Amino acid sequence: MTVRVGVTGATGRMGAEVIAAVADRDDVEVAFAVNRDPNGEEVSGVSVESADAFEELLLEREPAAVIDFTGPESALGYARACADADVAFVTGTTGFEDDELEALEEVSETTPLLRAPNFARGVQALVNVVGDAVQDLAGYDVELVETHHNAKRDAPSGTANRLLSEIEANGDFSGRKHGREGFDPREEGEIGVHVLRAGNVTGEHEIVIADNHEEVRLTHRAEDRGVFAAGAVDSAVWLAERGPGSYDFADVLAD
Enumerate residues 6+ apart whose C-beta is below 8 A from 153.
71, 95
Helix (H, G, I), strand (E, B) or coil at 146: strand
Residue among 221, 229, 225, 193 nearest 126 (CA) = 221
| Alpha carbon distance, N-terminus to C-terminus of the chain | 19
Clarify whether 148 is annotated catalytic. Answer: yes
List the catalytic residue out of 152, 177, 205, 213.
152
Rounded CA separation 210/187 (Å): 14
Provide the pairing of β-strand 190-197 with 245-247: unpaired
Enumerate residues 6+ apart whose C-beta is below 8 A from 191.
142, 143, 144, 164, 167, 168, 173, 175, 176, 177
List the catalytic residue out of 148, 149, 205, 213.
148
Enumerate residues 6+ apart whose C-beta is below 8 A from 144.
156, 160, 163, 164, 167, 191, 192, 193, 194, 205, 206, 207, 208
Q: Which residues are catalytically annotated?
A: 148, 152
